Structures are given as structure tokens and as C-alpha cells.
């Protein structure tokens, strides 16, 4: 049985880590934000902690089943943020959906107490979110890729009236 401080640490860092990824999505006007991704990460950390997953360096059978259920089930939440834009023949929201799935995985790692994995995952996540769009646009221009993203910037914010996420409410 974990003591109070370890439970607070695991769940607190999970919510904080998910919330920081959500802040990036929120600042870019995406349909998921701080609260959504903090809650996804917190919930998965709770379930992982509940299963007491660490058993001589690996997951117990119960922990493994919980992780499998989380990874499968979180796809439905992620699918809810993917939007098909008829006007531009584009699918939008895939990065936000990936962030939902990622925060679930971060929650699993927090629940299991794998702090190094959490820290490195967050560092890589923010590198991808901060610089990935710029690198992608550069490569499209340099290599002449199809669907040149320069026609519509990837960082174009979604207006609050256009989607389910309305900051301030």
C-alpha cells in the first residue's frame, strides 16, 4: 500500500503533466485544453496506481489489463476531437487526439511511478509541439510535398464559435 505522499505525488504530477500539454493545445485554440488533458492523465494515473502495477520491475496481470483497457478506451475520447473539414477536404484535430492518447500514457507512467519516463516524454512532447509544425512546413516547402501546409497555417486558431471548446466558460 502506498503512503499518502506517494499517492499525492503520482496523481499530482499526472494532472500537472497532462495540464501542461493541454495548455499548449488551449493556447493554439484547439478543442481540448488544460482541464481535459489534466483529467485524462489524472484518471489513468488513478487506475494504474489502483492496480499496484509494479511487480519486480514489470506490470502485474491486473496492471497489464488496466493499461490495455486505458490504451484501447482512450481512442474514443481522442476520436471526438477529430474533425473532417468538408470545405478544405482535410482532417483536422489529429494532433489534439494524439495529445489525448499521450496524456493517458503519461498518466499510466505517473501511476506506475516511472518519473524518468515522464520527464523525458514531456520534454520530447513539447519539442514536437513547439517545433514540429515549423519543421513540417519547412520540409513541405523544401521537398515540394503534397498538401502544402503553407496555404493554411497549422497554427491558425479555431474560433470559439466554431468548436466545442470555449475558453472562459
pLDDT in tens for each of the 169 residues of the chain? 678 888 899 899 999 998 999 898 888 887 778 888 888 888 888 877 777 655 545 667 777 787 788 877 777 777 777 776 667 666 677 788 888 888 888 988 888 888 888 999 899 899 988 888 888 888 878 887 665 444 445 445 544 444 444 444 4
CB 49 within 8 A of CB 2: yes
Whether residue 95 lies inside any domain: the answer is yes
Return the closest-CA partner of residue 124 out of 137, 105, 111.
Answer: 105
Whether residue 119 lies inside any domain: the answer is yes
Whether residue 155 lies inside any domain: the answer is no
The reported pTM is 0.64
Domain that holds residue 132: 4-146
Number of domains into which the chain is organized: 1
Whether residue 122 lies inside any domain: the answer is yes
Whether residue 58 lies inside any domain: the answer is yes
Whether residue 165 lies inside any domain: the answer is no
Helices (H), 28-91: 34-50, 61-79
Whether residue 169 lies inside any domain: the answer is no
Amino acid at each position: 500500500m502506498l503512503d499518502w505522499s506517494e499517492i499525492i505525488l503520482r496523481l499530482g504530477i499526472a494532472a500537472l503533466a497532462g495540464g501542461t500539454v493541454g495548455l499548449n493545445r488551449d493556447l493554439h485554440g484547439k478543442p481540448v485544453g488544460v482541464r481535459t488533458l489534466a483529467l485524462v492523465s489524472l484518471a489513468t494515473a488513478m487506475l494504474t496506481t489502483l492496480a499496484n502495477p509494479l511487480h519486480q520491475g514489470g506490470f502485474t496481470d491486473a496492471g497489464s489489463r488496466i493499461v490495455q483497457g486505458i490504451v484501447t478506451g482512450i481512442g474514443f475520447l481522442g476520436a471526438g476531437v477529430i474533425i473532417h473539414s468538408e470545405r478544405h477536404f482535410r482532417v483536422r484535430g489529429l494532433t489534439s487526439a494524439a495529445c489525448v492518447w499521450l496524456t493517458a500514457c503519461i498518466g499510466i507512467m505517473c501511476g506506475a511511478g516511472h518519473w524518468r519516463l515522464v520527464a523525458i516524454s514531456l520534454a520530447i512532447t513539447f519539442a514536437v509541439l513547439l517545433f514540429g509544425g515549423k519543421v513540417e512546413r519547412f520540409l513541405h516547402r523544401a521537398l515540394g510535398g503534397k498538401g502544402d501546409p503553407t496555404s493554411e497555417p497549422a497554427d491558425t486558431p479555431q474560433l470559439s464559435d466554431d468548436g466545442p471548446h470555449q475558453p472562459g466558460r
